[in-house]
């Protein structure tokens, strides 16, 4: 898809069907839409939403989920919709590296890589770039102390990865992390979509003000 798709919560179906990105998606799925929807025409067992790990990616993902919830709910109910979890970081030390999906995993990976090095050599000094690690195992009395550099790469977009990295982290069935989309409470889900994606500003404003203090993973 090219950029953000139409917010179908604010649009009539006739306008939705004139949107090129949505038309391409409907054709790709093979199920048609509306009264002509037929799940037997579905071309794929897994429909994977794969977006960047920043706020723009989250917005596009929400727009796609809105489309699927409003016009393809059967695909969610039958377990066909998944969200890919691309890594946020890659931390490297020499030839050793780890992909990390959260800040906690990043710290654990740093500690793990340092532990690998310390198991081979007792006296080291740890340096992290661009972030400094808290791990520091230094013998000040030793003249043989060596510096170990940890390189941390932050991914904000899948486009920042080369094809091999994209395959290894996000697409390879052996290693990729997928979250299956489900609707546990249809009535509650319907209300949330109306508040957050609908045309009424006041309910959305009230929701944001009510939940502002409990927000996680804020990207501004």
Confidence at residue 145, expressed as pLDDT on a 0 to 100 scale: 46
How many CB atoms sit inside 10 A of residue 61's CB?
Answer: 16
Confidence of residue 139 (pLDDT cuts 50, 70, 90): very low
Phi, psi values for residue 96, rounded to 5°? -85, 140
Residue 61 and residue 86 in contact, taking contact as beta carbons nearer than 8 Å: no
Confidence at residue 33, expressed as pLDDT on a 0 to 100 scale: 92
Percent share of the chain, pLDDT over 90? 29
pLDDT at 49 over 90: yes
Distances (CA, A) of 192 to 67, 83, 98, 197, 219: 14, 19, 36, 8, 21
Give pLDDT tens digits for 5-45: 888 888 888 888 888 999 999 999 999 998 899 999 999 99
Q: Whole-angstrom Cα distance, residue 83 to residue 160?
A: 19
pLDDT at 132 over 70: no
Q: Per-domain residue ranges for the chain?
A: 8-86+163-214, 89-154
pLDDT at 135 over 50: no
Q: What is the mean pLDDT of the chain?
A: 82
Q: Whole-angstrom Cα distance, residue 83 to residue 186?
A: 19
State mean pLDDT over 93-108.
89
Residue 170 and residue 158 in contact, taking contact as beta carbons nearer than 8 Å: yes
The three-class DSSP label of residue 148 is strand
**CATH second-level architecture of 8-86+163-214?**
3-Layer(aba) Sandwich (3.40)
């Amino acid at each position: 898809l090219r950029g953000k798709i139409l917010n179908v919560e604010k649009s009539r179906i006739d306008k939705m069907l004139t949107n090129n990105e949505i038309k391409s998606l409907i054709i790709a799925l093979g199920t048609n839409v509306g009264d002509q929807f037929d799940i037997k025409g579905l071309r794929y067992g897994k429909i994977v939403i794969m977006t960047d790990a920043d706020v723009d990616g989250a917005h596009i993902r929400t727009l796609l989920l809105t489309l699927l919830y409003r016009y393809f709910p059967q695909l969610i109910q039958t377990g066909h919709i998944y969200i890919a979890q691309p890594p946020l970081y890659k931390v490297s030390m020499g030839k050793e590296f780890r992909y990390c999906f959260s800040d906690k995993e990043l710290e654990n990976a740093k500690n793990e890589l340092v532990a690998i090095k310390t198991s081979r050599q007792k006296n080291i000094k740890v340096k992290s770039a661009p972030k400094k690690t808290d791990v520091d195992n230094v013998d000040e009395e030793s003249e043989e102390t060596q510096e170990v550099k940890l390189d941390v790469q932050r991914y904000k977009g899948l486009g920042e990865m080369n094809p091999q990295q994209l395959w290894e982290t996000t697409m390879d069935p052996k290693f990729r992390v997928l979250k299956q989309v489900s609707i546990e409470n249809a009535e509650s889900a319907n209300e949330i979509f109306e508040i957050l994606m609908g045309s009424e500003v006041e309910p959305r404003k009230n929701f944001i003000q009510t939940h502002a203090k409990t927000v996680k993973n804020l990207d501004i």
